[in-house]
Structure 1
Amino acid sequence: MTTSTASGSITALSPETLREWITQHEDLVIIDVRSAAEFESLHIRGSYNVPLPLLSEHTEELAARLGSRVVLVCQSGTRAEQARQRLAKVGIDGAYVLTGGAPAFQKSGGDVVRGKDRWDLERQVRMAAGSLVVAGLVGGKLVSPKVRMVAGAIGAGLTFSAATNTCAMGRALSAMPWNKATTEPTRESAILSLPTKASSN
């Protein structure tokens, strides 16, 4: 099942459809835009890890290597949609976003590779934001009413995050040591290792 946007371009792809495509289309390229640590924990077999910050930095170079059938994957779809929008700006209009991300693909019976179990980045963001809000409210009662400003600041940050479809807390958490993989993707290892359009046809 795919979903059409208002403009008529198809951007959402169900896990079941992706499972069919993997067996039917040799030109299919699956790009996982999560952090290397998240990718290491669980990823679709045969997918390439190009974290969103790396993709954002080398969008044109990546686009030049992609063919006509591209599926973007993250944890839930948010980062994959950001990647789709960036690629659309440089001429890749036919990229798809996997609905529900890698976890939904696994639940559908798709072939995945599992590694070290870690919390995904989105779960870490929820934990950090929730903990800071609770700390602000408790501190406001026990220490000083001014500490409640922490909760307000987190709320404002989350509102801004939703409005701009970005996440500063997520970027900060992704830089933490526990979110680092053994080998972090680089331009050379992630983007230049992709098959070229010519070799994928």
Structure 2
Amino acid sequence: MTTTTPRRFSPRDLADHRQAVPLTLIDVREPMEYASGHIAGSHNIPLSRLGSETLPEGPLVLLCQSGSRSSQGLTNLLRRGHPQPLAELEGGFGAWQEAGLPVQRHARAPLPLMRQVQIVAGGLVLVGVLLSQTVAPGWIWLSGLVGAGLSFAGISGFCGMARLLAVMPWNRVHP
């Protein structure tokens, strides 16, 4: 690994390399994501705090869910002139799981955020339809509003409902 050209490890290569060479894994996902499943021994430093946290000495391997945030983190660390060797996990934690490699979970981890969005959005659509049939026809607009919000989230990448759910008390992770 070099600091100028970060290495990309496949999940299997990383698992093997970790046995031979001391590496520090930095998981840049949010604490709630980390709690729902992570690689044993990895450190959780969310991408938003990566530049302000003191990082461990030695070679670092960044990872996230799919590889997008870890690539952003690598770019930021390289731009800042990070002195230690850097690498990333190709395909992220999702690829690690698909390879059948071991995963550690917190016992009281909340449901994944996207499942929570699906539950709430589905419930609101159902309530809107039921109320439009039993109380007043105008309630159908609740279902339409939820559908518009989901379409906007899919197009823009911004999901207000997910942001709102992420700050709810049941999603606060205490290590």
Aligned equivalents of 1:166, 1:95: Cα separation in 2: 28
Distance 1:11 1:127 in 2: 39
Q: Closer, same or farther in 2 for the Cα pair 1:147/1:24, shift >3 Å?
A: farther
Q: Deviations over 1:132-183 (max 9, x none)?
A: 1121122222222221111222122112212222322122112122212224
Q: Which residue of 2 aligns with 1:171?
A: 163
* 1:99 shift after superposition: 3.2
TM-superposed CA distance for 1:21, in Å, is 4.0
Aligned to 2:38: 43
- How far residue 44 of structure 1 moved from its aligned partner, in angstroms, is 0.9
Q: 1:158 to 1:50 in 2, by over 3 A?
A: farther
2-side partners of 1:121 and 1:39: how far apart?
Answer: 12
Matched, 1:87 2:79: no
Q: Give the TM-score, by structure 1 length.
A: 0.61
State the one-letter code of the partner of 2:73: L
SS at match of 1:30: strand
Q: Identify if the C-alpha distance between structure 1 residues 100 and 84 changes in structure 2 by more than 3 Å, giving closer, same or farther.
A: closer
Gapped regions of structure 2 (runs ≥ 5): 80-85
Q: How does 1:38-117 map to 2 (within 5 A)?
A: 38-51=33-46, 55-56=47-48, 58-61=49-52, 65=55, 70-74=61-65, 77=66, 81=68, 83-84=69-70, 86-87=72-73, 90=76, 92=78, 96=88, 99=91, 101=93, 105-106=96-97, 108-117=99-108
Relative to structure 1, the CA distance from residue 22 to residue 14 in structure 2 (aligned partners, 3 Å threshold; closer, same or farther) is same
Q: Distance in 2 between matches of 1:119 and 1:40?
A: 10
Which of 12, 22, 29 is 1:26 aligned to? Answer: 22
Identity value in percent: 30
Are residues 1:122 and 2:123 paired? no
Residues 89 and 42 (structure 1 numbering): CA distance in 2 closer, same or farther, change over 3 Å? closer
Larger radius of gyration: 2
Contact 2:128 2:142 in 1 (8 A): yes
- TM-score normalised to structure 2 length: 0.69
Runs of 4+ in 1 over 6 A off after TM superposition: 9-13
Q: What is the Cα-based RMSD across aligned positions, in Å? A: 3.4
Measured at CA, do residues 30 and 65 of structure 1 come closer, stay the same or move farther in structure 2, by a change above 3 Å? closer
> Does the aligned pair in 2 maintain the 1:132–1:151 contact within 8 Å?
yes
Q: How many residues align?
A: 163
Q: Contact conserved, 2:61 with 2:87, CA < 8 A, in 1?
A: yes
Query: 2: CA distance between counterparts of 1:109 and 1:85?
Result: 23
Query: Any gaps of 5 or more consecutive residues in structure 1?
Result: 1-8, 184-201
Q: 1:85 to 1:140 in 2, by over 3 A?
A: farther
Q: State the partner residue of 2:126.
A: 134
